[in-house]
Structure 1
Amino acid sequence: MITSILRKIRDFRKDTRGTVAVETVVMWPGLFLAMLAMAVLFDAYRARSTTEKAAFAISDMLSRETAAVNHDYLNGVHSLFDQISTLRSGHDLTVSLVTWDVINRTHQLVWSHSISRDGDRDETSWDNADMLAMSQDLPTLVNGESLIVVQTQSVFSPPVIMKRWWGENWNGFPMNTLVFTRPRFVSNLAWSDA
């Protein structure tokens, strides 16, 4: 009796039928989740890359402007930014002109205007208190020099259902950019309320 039990155990151990099916069932969920994670990470990297490229393009476009800009111009810039960026969510765009105060050794805000995700003028434009918080991110300038600062705020939401995994508080990954450029052909980028 013991020999028959040992023989059955030995035969079971040597039997290789069905191992591919068992390995497939064990490995498939892990492989599926790994492929899904790679696709989400690739999409996030692509969205981050195109958003940064769009911010640099907008900043470069503004740095070459010789005429005064206004809200219509910023609405066009916002539309162009939406076209260049691959994010499906909207974008908040803030354009500011900053100069250097050599006496106080601080950045001074000349003007700042924002366009919200829905294309309306937004009240989230910078003020001098924001400049103090932002100063460590901006370079030191010489007296009379100015910078065009373009800040974008958007949210990356992967195409997979993340709320099911992280709950209803899931709002996506914030993707913010801060780009600064010196005006190329004029000393300051002028603002016009017209």
Structure 2
Amino acid sequence: MKRLITNYLKDTTAAVSLETVIVFPMLTWAWVGTFAFFDAYRVYNTSIKATFTIADLISRQTSTVYGYDIEGMAAMLESMIRDTDGVEMRVTQILRDTSGDYRVDWSHGTGTQAQLYTANLAAVEDRLPDMANGERVVLVESFVDYDPAFNIAINDLTFDNFTLTRPRYAGQVPYDDAMTPPSS
């Protein structure tokens, strides 16, 4: 009996099959998990870059920005990010008045995002930079829903991006909330 057990322990004829059965599920899980993490990173990184692009585009405006322009920029944001549903954006121009308080000049939200008002500006005031009295900044917030392709260690996420930029060529970005472009 002892010889049979010794021979059984020394027998390696099915070792590759047994190792494959043990290791293959772990390798598959690791490969799929790596894909899921890198895809989430891609969406996050692209959403940040796209938000900076929109903020830069708005900050360079010298003519009036309309509500339909911002809706179009939100569609452009969604196109830049690719493969995501549920991209929303809010653009707000904030003034620091002569008394040193922050005030909302105008705000426009797309999708389900509400406008930002001076009354609820306190929620983001700690994230605003120190500015000179009379100076304005444009705040672009994007909200990108991410649904992973595989449910491995990553749940559904919403990437919130908060980007501030100063108007480039004028003291402020003029705004009109019209939602219909003028006829040519």
TM over 0.5: yes
**Corresponding residue SS for 2:65:** coil
**Corresponding residue SS for 1:41:** helix
Provide the rounded CA distance (Å) in 1 between the counterparts of 2:9 and 2:155: 51
TM-superposed deviation, 1:102 = 4.4
Letter in 1 for 2:75: S
Letter in 2 for 1:25: V
TM-superposed deviation, 1:26 = 0.6
Provide the rounded CA distance (Å) in 1 between the counterparts of 2:20 and 2:155: 35
Equivalent residue, structure 1, for 2:9? 13
| 1:111 partnered with 2:111 | no
Equivalent residue, structure 1, for 2:81? 85
Provide the rounded CA distance (Å) in 2 between the counterparts of 1:91 and 1:19: 51
Query: Residue 158 of structure 2: which of 152, 166, 174 is its match?
Result: 174
Equivalent residue, structure 2, for 1:119? none
Provide the rounded CA distance (Å) in 2 between the counterparts of 1:101 and 1:7: 93
> Deviations 1:162-188 (Å, cap 9, x if unpaired)?
3xx89xxx9711111111100000001
In the TM superposition, structure 1's runs of 4+ consecutive aligned residues that sit over 6 Å from their partners are: none
TM-superposed deviation, 1:73 = 1.0
Q: Is the 8 A contact 2:90 2:113 kept in 1?
A: no
Provide the rounded CA distance (Å) in 2 between the counterparts of 1:157 and 1:109: 33
Q: Is the 8 A contact 2:84 2:144 kept in 1?
A: no
Equivalent residue, structure 2, for 1:141? 131
Provide the rounded CA distance (Å) in 1 between the counterparts of 2:155 and 2:22: 33
Q: How many residues align?
A: 178
**Corresponding residue SS for 1:73:** helix
Letter in 1 for 2:175: W
Equivalent residue, structure 2, for 1:60? 56
Cα separation, partners in 2 of 1:58 and 1:19, compared to 1, 3 Å = same
Greater C-alpha Rg:
1
Letter in 1 for 2:135: E
Query: Structure 1: 5+ residue runs without aligned partners?
Result: 117-121
Provide the alpha-carbon RMSD of the alignment: 1.9
TM-superposed deviation, 1:87 = 4.0
Equivalent residue, structure 1, for 2:119? 129
TM-score by length of 1: 0.86
The alignment-based identity, stated in percent, is 28
| 1:187 partnered with 2:168 | no
TM-score by length of 2: 0.90
Provide the rounded CA distance (Å) in 2 between the counterparts of 1:193 and 1:24: 63
**Corresponding residue SS for 1:108:** strand
Provide the rounded CA distance (Å) in 1 between the counterparts of 2:60 and 2:177: 20
